[in-house]
A and B are shown apart, each in its own frame.
Chain A
Amino acid sequence: DVKVTQSSRYLVKRTGEKVFLECVQDMDHENMFWYRQDPGLGLRLIYFSYDVKMKEKGDIPEGYSVSREKKERFSLILESASTNQTSMYLCASSFDQGPYGYTFGSGTRLTVV
């Protein structure tokens, strides 16, 4: 089975802190994604990457950045955490070709206080 592993299940950070969320996949997927999920708003794409060192902004990139130095790892960075970034963060990965769908990690519930 494809495994997408997110480093933390729950995180509590203070306003203004720099926050790193890590995601690792073990099936050689080309594409990786970061979403946030909030009640009533569904899944919103923050950033995605289709290759090492490549990244593209999603629908809500403000306040976030990403890094993909290796194919299996995709990191989401909150440059200066704010309370409105309290959310569930989901990492996903997929092959570049074929209708195989995304595989999601277990999610990180981030609370910014």
Chain B
Amino acid sequence: QKEVEQNSGPLSVPEGAIASLNCTYSDRGSQSFFWYRQYSGKSPELIMFIYSNGDKEDGRFTAQLNKASQYVSLLIRDSQPSDSATYLCAVSPSGTYKYIFGTGTRLKVLA
């Protein structure tokens, strides 16, 4: 069974701090990795994807991928109360376009 694991949280950080969200996956052949943000009562929204080892930055967001250790992380710099949401990690296993989703980490940014 291919798995994607996330700490459910809540992860609480003060406004302006860096929030660090982590995700591990079991399929070593996984190709692509995605971070979705989901506000309460809303649908998931894609915020980042990464497929090469290393860091990828987009504004206040940085995705980090380490295929050898099978983890992907999302850093949110200068966290804002509007970043409070559940963050879902999704992984595309090798040879398929069916993503495996983690159950999400709930982030709370305290004003």
Contact = CB atoms under 8 A, between A and B. Distances in A.
Contacts of B46: 101-103
Interface stretch (A12-20, A40-48, A60-68): A40-48
Interface of B: 31-32, 34, 36, 42-46, 49, 51, 88, 90, 92, 97-99, 101-104
B97 A42 contact: no
A38 to B, nearest CB: 10
Contacts of B97: 31, 50, 94, 96
A37 B46 CA distance: 17
Interface residues on A, range: 20 to 34
A76 B60 CA distance: 37
Given A43-B88, A100-B49, A101-B49, A90 B102 contact: no
A42 B104 contact: yes
Contacts of A90: 43-44
Contacts of A101: 34, 36, 46, 49, 90
Contacts of B92: 99
A86 interface: no
A43 B45 contact: no
Contacts of A111: none
A105 B98 CA distance: 17
Interface string A80-107: 0000000000100010100111111111
Q: What are the 6 closest A-B residue pairs judged by CB atoms, nearest first?
A: A99-B32, A42-B103, A104-B43, A101-B46, A43-B101, A107-B43
A41 to B, nearest CB: 7
